[in-house]
Structure formats: structure tokens, C-alpha cells
Amino acid sequence: MPDEDKKRAAHRALVDRVLNGPGQAAEEERARAFANAGLPPPLDVLIGKVATRPAQVTDADIAAARASGYTEDQIFELVVSAAVGQSARLYEAGLAALAEATGEAG
Amino acid sequence: MRLDILNRGYRPGTKVLFTLIRVFSGHPVPDAARLVFYRPGFYGAQAKQFTHEAMRGPSAWSVADRELMAAFVSKVSESAFCVAAHTATAGQAYQDSAKVQAVLTDLESAPVEDGLRATLRMLGQLTREGKVSGGDMREVLSAGVSRQQVQDALAVCAAFNTTGRLADAFGFELLSPEGFEAGAKYLLKRGYR
């Protein structure tokens, strides 16, 4: 297997585990956190910050998610899903631009 | 860290390991290392494998170049923990911390090769704006960077976009300068596995 495929395969395994593996947050909620779309307040605020401006996450964002009924383990999973999701989109965007530049299918 | 489970929720064997590391290294285990021990089946095990492959797997980029990319991407995304950790690691890997500081201060005037500069510029744009164009990629390729090298750089970028977001979201505690240097030495010796 070429080395670049090993890197992408390891990345795909991470994405697959976070989205489809066993967890305490529902798969559907993890998918929404991954996509940063369709989550109810106040979780949408926390997940939106993780995806777009993580330096602005505060203790209050986590506390609000806890107060709305999510356990710490569920928050852990949803924050991880959001971080992996946003970086997966950047990775795909970069690879698509590279494919366009070299005239090859991604 | 912001979740109690990430401060106290580790298995007994893991807690013993953290204590041993602290005693023998003289430094607390960095939060970046602790995080991947929390329920490793959910995130840590796969994350370590991907990060190690991106940072230490075969590549035409040197380890130092990839650590510099990690520091640069973290700087653009303002992830203080990752900037400090990978600035220290890149500085040790190049044996030239001034070069690393120059890149982080002003990429355009820094003393690096044009291919690396063009690659860092592209990674910065991707991290900042979430997109790059085919034209942007052609500029990187025309600076002498191979298609494979661009792919490798994008893997580094993906790994540190993930870690940096988690560092900020969970609130990784910053280490002392000595702590970051000790962590850097470990990362160069052992990698991310």
C-alpha cells in the first residue's frame, strides 16, 4: 500500500470509529456534531465553537451542555466528533483542490 | 481540563502510569497525552495511529518540517498549547529554534525553502478559510513540491486541526517552558504512538 494511502486509511479509521463505533451519545447526534448542523441549543453553541472558533470555548459552554442533560462522556464524544468532523472537511477540501490542480480524480 | 472525567476518569493502571511518568520525568503528563488515554477505544487509539503516521510515517518532508507545519497550523488556529508544544519540537528537530520563530513571526521573510514556504502558506489559508482552490495548489506544485508531499502536508494539517480544537475545547493546561522542551524530546524519540 502506498504511504499516502496509509495516512488516509488511518484517517478514515478515525472518522469511522467516531461516527459508527459504540458510544454513549447516539450515532445520529455524533453525526450532527461531526457535521456541525442540526443540534439543539445550547449544544449547538458549544459544537459550533469547536468547529469554527475553538479558542472561544468557555467553562459556561460546557456547563450549559451539562445542564441540558448531557453527561460528561456524551459531551466528550460530541466535542471529539465536532473536531474530527471539521478537520475531515479541511482534509477533503485540500485533497479535492489538489486533484483539480493535477487533473486527476480524487 | 474542562471535563472532570478527563482529569480523574482514568483506569487504575493508567493512573499508575501517569504517576510513574511524573516521578521519573519530573514533569506532569501533558494534557495532550492524557486525553488519548481516556476511553482510548473511542478516540485515542485511532487518533494516535493517524497522528503518528502523518508526523513520523514515510514522507519526503523531514520530521522537522512536519513539526514546523504543526506549529504553523496551530498558530493560525490560535491553539496556544499546540503552538508551544510544536514550536519546541520543531526547534529541537531542526536544532534551530530561531528559524522556527522566524516562520511563526513572518512566513514571507523567514529563511526556509520556497517549496516549504508555499506549502505553509497553503495550509494557513486552508486552516483560516476552510478552503483552497486548484490554483492555490498549482502554486504549491510549481514551487517544486510533489503531489505526494502536498498530500502528506494535508495529513499533518488534518491531525493538528483536530488536536488543536480539542486542546482549546477541553482547555489543555499550558506547561512550563521546561515541560514543553521535555515533551518535545519525548515526541522526537518516541513519536505519537
CB-nearest partner of A4 from B151, B157, B165: B151
What burial class does residue B165 get, using C-beta atoms within 10 Å of its C-beta: 0-12 exposed, 13-18 middle, 19+ buried?
Answer: buried
Query: If residue A50 lies in a helix (H) or strand (E), which one and from where to where?
Result: helix A43-52
For the stretch B169-187, pLDDT in tens is 999 999 999 999 999 999 9
Task: Give B 42-101 residues with CB within 8 A of chain A.
Answer: 42-43, 46-47, 49-50, 53-54, 57-59, 77-80
ipTM of the complex: 0.95
Residues of chain A with pLDDT under 70: 1-4, 105-106
CATH architecture designation of domain B43-190: Up-down Bundle (1.20)
Q: A87 — contact with chain B (CB < 8 Å)?
A: yes
In Å, how far are A57, B25, B38, B58 from B31, measured between CA atoms?
17, 15, 11, 27
Residues from chain B contacting residue A14 (CB–CB below 8 Å): 43, 46-47, 49-50
For the stretch B36-85, pLDDT in tens is 999 999 999 999 999 999 999 999 999 999 999 999 999 999 899 999 99
B187/B86 Cα distance (integer angstroms): 9
- Whole-model pTM: value is 0.96
Q: What pLDDT score does A104 carry?
A: 73
For the stretch B127-185, pLDDT in tens is 999 999 999 999 999 999 999 999 999 999 999 999 999 999 999 999 999 999 999 99
What burial class does residue B9 get, using C-beta atoms within 10 Å of its C-beta: 0-12 exposed, 13-18 middle, 19+ buried?
Answer: middle
Q: A79–B39: do the CB atoms touch at under 8 Å?
A: no
Task: Give B 166-185 residues with CB within 8 A of chain A.
Answer: 166-171
Q: What single-letter amino acid sits at B90?
A: A
CB-nearest partner of A57 from B58, B162, B168: B168
Q: What single-letter amino acid sits at A101?
A: A
What burial class does residue B74 get, using C-beta atoms within 10 Å of its C-beta: 0-12 exposed, 13-18 middle, 19+ buried?
Answer: buried
In chain B, domain spans: 43-190
**Residue of chain B with shortest Cα separation from A20:** B42
Percent of chain B with pLDDT over 90: 96
